[in-house]
Structure 1
Amino acid sequence: MKKIAISFSFLLFSAAAVTAADDPIAVRQALMQANAASAGAASAMLKGEMDYNPVVAKAAIATFHSTAEAMGDFFPEGSNVGETRAAPAIWENPDAFRETLAKFRTDAAAAVEASGRDGPADLEAFRLAVMPVLSNCSACHENFRLEDD
């Protein structure tokens, strides 16, 4: 299971790296898809819809951390047009966007640290580690993502 989770994360980020130079929007979308998958697994464990698994928890946290570290590099000028849900506020208020990303990075790094080598010891440890990270997702989406039509 651990190898599968690690391989899955590696695959997602490898795909993102391949397209990075050519299409920052596609990279952002791949990163958000990886985050969504991790949020789905985290949410299922937190709600008791899925048994707690420290390996899956660790993989979710690692994905959030990787996304947090990479995300800021994929919003260059001009990447606000096309098939994107990135809100104009990203380019209109870049300082606020950078602050939001910095908080995401800080909280994701803290979650990695808290999860230890083998993942959070139990569901409560996972909850304490991941909830600050997930709150960043909500805050960023509220301020810097366009809603679906």
Structure 2
Amino acid sequence: MKKLVLAMSTLCISVTAVLAADDPIATRKRIMDSTAAAAGLSAALMKGDIEYNPTIAKAAILTLGASAATFGDYFPEGSGEGQTTASPKIWEDADGFKAALAKFTTDTSAALEASGKDGPADLDAFKAAVGPVMSNCRSCHEAFRVQN
């Protein structure tokens, strides 16, 4: 399982790197798709819809961490036009957006630290580690995403 997760993560990062140079909107969408999948998996683990597994929990946290480390790089000036749900507030309040991204990075780093080598030992540890990350995602979407 660990090898599969690592291989998938490497593939996703490789594809993203190739796409990034040409289309920051498409790249952000792909990163956000990965983030949404990890968040959905995290929520299912937290609610008990999926039986808790520390390896799966660690994979979700690693994906969130990879997103936090790269997502902010794909908002160059002028990339708010086109097929995007990025709010104009991202560029109007660049300092606020950078602060939100910094908090996302801090929260995911703390979750990675708390999760241990093989993932959080139990569901309570996972909830404590990933809860702040999920809260951060929600607040950033409320502030910097166009609501449909």
Stretches of structure 2 lacking an aligned partner (at least 5 in a row)? none
Q: Which residue of 2 aligns with 1:76?
A: 76
Q: Which residue of 1 aligns with 2:36?
A: 36
Question: What letter corresponds to residue 32 of structure 1 in structure 2?
Answer: M
Q: Which residue of 2 aligns with 1:147?
A: 147
8 Å Cα contact 1:5-1:55 kept in structure 2: no
Q: Which residue of 2 aligns with 1:8?
A: 8
Q: Which residue of 2 aligns with 1:21?
A: 21
Question: What letter corresponds to residue 110 of structure 1 in structure 2?
Answer: A
The Cα shift of 1:142 comes to 0.2
Q: Which residue of 1 aligns with 2:95?
A: 95
Q: For 2:37 and 2:10, locate their aligned partners in 1 and report how far apart those are by CA, in whole Å.
A: 14
The Cα shift of 1:7 comes to 1.9
**Aligned: 1:125 with 2:104:** no
TM-score by length of 2: 0.97
**Aligned: 1:113 with 2:113:** yes
Question: What letter corresponds to residue 126 of structure 1 in structure 2?
Answer: F
Stretches of structure 1 lacking an aligned partner (at least 5 in a row)? none
The Cα shift of 1:2 comes to 1.5
Deviations, residues 77-135 of structure 1 (Å, cap 9, x unaligned): 01000111000000000000000000000010000111111000011100000000111
Q: For 1:59 and 1:117, locate their aligned partners in 2 and report how far apart those are by CA, in whole Å.
A: 11
TM-score by length of 1: 0.96
Q: For 1:146 and 1:41, locate their aligned partners in 2 and report how far apart those are by CA, in whole Å.
A: 24
Q: For 1:8 and 1:42, locate their aligned partners in 2 and report how far apart those are by CA, in whole Å.
A: 17
Runs of 4+ with deviation above 4 angstroms: none
Question: What letter corresponds to residue 24 of structure 1 in structure 2?
Answer: P
Question: Percent same amino acid among aligned pairs?
Answer: 55
Q: For 1:43 and 1:7, locate their aligned partners in 2 and report how far apart those are by CA, in whole Å.
A: 23
Q: For 1:40 and 1:46, locate their aligned partners in 2 and report how far apart those are by CA, in whole Å.
A: 10
Deviations, residues 24-80 of structure 1 (Å, cap 9, x unaligned): 111100110000110111111111110111111111111111111111110000100
Q: Which residue of 1 aligns with 2:136?
A: 136
